[in-house]
């Protein structure tokens, strides 16, 4: 019961911090926009602070509660700052140069502060830190000067960027406060050793240890979080733009430059009057059949190469590797002529056949997937096969009941990559599938934007959003296998 209460209090602290960050950013956004803010923002800010205080009051680890509260507030502040900046840029309310200079000023000021802190720590330890102190002060002054200059030119951009930087700092320090107790034990041990020091030097040494501990944590993990935040922002912007375009009934990309200017469902409703859902089903059929068959064929081939020794085995592996050096798209002319000829003999394997398209995908994916699975199969000990044989198991029983269960991660990875590749393919599907009823999603949606005089980007964006749902669901379902499946076969032994 105590553990449940503790978890609930931690959740309360995180939600309170998030609410406080939301209220604070809404207040700042209203001030920057010049439209003021309603009473909801201060109320949400007050409620968030109250929740964090309540978690501190009743929790057993106030330090972690503070960290979770700061982390929640930092995440929300960064997200809203990025969103407000993108919206302001799309609506031409701020200039991109002002935002860039403000970001540069924040980064330079942060670097200067880090160098300055390092110099102060060296001086506190009795080391030569004067040079670092001077350089840090100069860099910090340069960053602040850039911020002040931008503040005069466009104060709204500076407020939003600085709020985002404060959110990053709050998130990092909150993460540091809420981490595990491993570093805390190291610091406590250091404090215990420092008790033998002179009384007048204890406070200074304590401060130095604290600085070193946070500096070490930031250098090992904090910088990675900053890089991750930048990567997330870089990746999320195109997604936001596509979603904004899908909700804009204007049908043009230029009308979507102002993110979320209008929110309507007209583009999604218009899909019902097209053959979108037929194309969607065709893509699912081709993707599912190709991925399942690829997994079965690749696993059988990889098992044979891994467990059996036969003449031509090494040459076969080498041939697979060499063949896969040439992209399948280079052979689309030959594939077209081949399928056109085969269609005269048996139409299901000729042009304009989904079955023929699946066969082409299988032929191109077998080599790479076999090589990927081969490395993973080699990590399964052969002693398991021998023990099963002693118990009377056949090769088929060993393969289906033992080996495939142990190599489930690589099967999931190959199935996922195969489904994504075939679901999104355009060139081969465009060459092979010729009638509108057999088109896949990529080929069908291309027709909406291929005509210079009648491009419907809004409908295209709506179809893209709906078309990404199967891949998203499959990825989230199998993501725990991805890292293990891709890396386990790369280490021998």
Q: Let me know whether 149 and 167 are in one domain.
A: no
In a domain, 227, yes or no: no
In a domain, 257, yes or no: no
Model's pTM, two decimal places? 0.65
Residue that is written with structure tokens 């190709």 in the block: 290
In a domain, 287, yes or no: yes
Q: Let me know whether 75 and 114 are in one domain.
A: no
Q: Let me know whether 168 and 64 are in one domain.
A: yes
Q: Let me know whether 129 and 55 are in one domain.
A: no
Q: Let me know whether 345 and 445 are in one domain.
A: yes
Q: Let me know whether 166 and 21 are in one domain.
A: yes
In a domain, 485, yes or no: yes
In a domain, 168, yes or no: yes
CATH of the domain at 467: 1.10.3720.10
Q: Let me know whether 409 and 471 are in one domain.
A: yes
CA distance 80 to 21: 9
Q: Let me know whether 364 and 484 are in one domain.
A: yes
Q: Let me know whether 173 and 305 are in one domain.
A: no
What is the domain count for the chain? 3
In a domain, 330, yes or no: yes
Q: Let me know whether 134 and 30 are in one domain.
A: no
Q: Let me know whether 421 and 347 are in one domain.
A: yes
Q: How far is CA 139 from the centre of its chain?
A: 33
Residue that is written with structure tokens 């010049």 in the block: 34
Domain range for 463: 275-490
CA distance 445 to 289: 22
Q: Which segments of the chain have a pLDDT < 50?
A: 1, 181-184, 187, 191, 195, 198-212, 489-493
- pLDDT of the residue at 266: 85
- pLDDT of the residue at 217: 60
- pLDDT of the residue at 478: 82
- pLDDT of the residue at 314: 83
In a domain, 238, yes or no: no
Q: How far is CA 39 from the centre of its chain?
A: 35
Q: Let me know whether 148 and 105 are in one domain.
A: yes
């Amino acid at each position: 019961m105590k553990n449940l209460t503790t978890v609930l209090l931690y959740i309360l602290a995180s939600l309170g911090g998030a609410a406080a960050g939301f209220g604070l950013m809404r207040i700042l956004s209203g001030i920057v926009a010049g439209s003021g803010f309603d009473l909801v923002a201060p109320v949400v800010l007050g409620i968030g602070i109250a929740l964090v205080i309540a978690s501190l009051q009743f929790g057993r680890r106030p330090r972690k509660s503070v960290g979770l509260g700061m982390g929640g507030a930092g995440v929300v502040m960064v997200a809203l700052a990025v969103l407000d900046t993108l919206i302001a840029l799309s609506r031409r309310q701020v200039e991109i140069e002002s935002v860039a200079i403000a970001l540069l000023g924040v980064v330079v000021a942060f670097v200067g502060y880090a160098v300055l802190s390092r110099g102060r720590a060296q001086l506190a330890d009795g080391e030569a830190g004067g040079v670092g102190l001077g350089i840090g002060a100069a860099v910090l002054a340069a960053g602040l000067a850039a911020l002040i200059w931008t503040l005069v030119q466009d104060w709204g951009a500076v407020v939003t960027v600085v709020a985002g930087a404060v959110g990053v700092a709050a998130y990092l320090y909150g993460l540091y406060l809420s981490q595990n107790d491993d570093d805390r034990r190291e610091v406590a041990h250091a404090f215990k050793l420092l008790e033998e020091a002179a009384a007048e030097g204890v406070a200074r040494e304590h401060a130095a240890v604290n600085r070193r501990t946070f500096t070490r944590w930031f250098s090992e993990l904090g910088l990675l979080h900053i890089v991750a935040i930048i990567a997330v922002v870089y990746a999320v912007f195109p997604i936001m733009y596509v979603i904004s375009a899908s909700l804009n009934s204007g049908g043009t990309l230029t009308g979507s430059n102002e993110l979320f200017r209008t929110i309507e469902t007209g583009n999604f409703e218009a899909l019902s009057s097209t053959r979108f859902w037929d194309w969607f089903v065709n893509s699912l059929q081709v993707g599912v059949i190709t991925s399942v068959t690829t997994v079965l064929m690749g696993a059988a081939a990889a098992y044979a190469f891994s467990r059996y020794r036969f003449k031509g085995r090494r040459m076969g592996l080498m041939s697979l590797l060499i063949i896969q050096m040439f992209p399948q798209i280079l052979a689309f002319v030959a594939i077209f002529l081949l399928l056109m000829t085969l269609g005269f003999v048996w139409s299901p394997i000729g042009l304009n056949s989904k079955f023929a398209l699946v066969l082409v995908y299988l032929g191109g994916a077998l080599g790479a997937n076999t090589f990927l699975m081969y490395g993973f199969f080699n990590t399964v000990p052969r002693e398991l096969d021998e023990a099963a044989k002693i118990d009377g198991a056949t090769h088929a029983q060993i393969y289906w009941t033992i080996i495939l269960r142990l190599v489930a991660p690589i099967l999931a990875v190959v199935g996922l990559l195969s489904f994504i590749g075939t679901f999104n393919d355009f060139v081969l599907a465009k060459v092979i599938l010729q009638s509108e009823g057999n088109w896949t999603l990529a080929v069908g949606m291309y027709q909406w934007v291929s005509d210079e005089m009648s491009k419907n980007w809004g409908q295209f964006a709506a179809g893209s959003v709906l078309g990404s749902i199967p891949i998203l669901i499959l990825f989230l379902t199998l993501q725990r296998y991805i890292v293990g499946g891709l890396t386990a076969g790369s280490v021998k032994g």
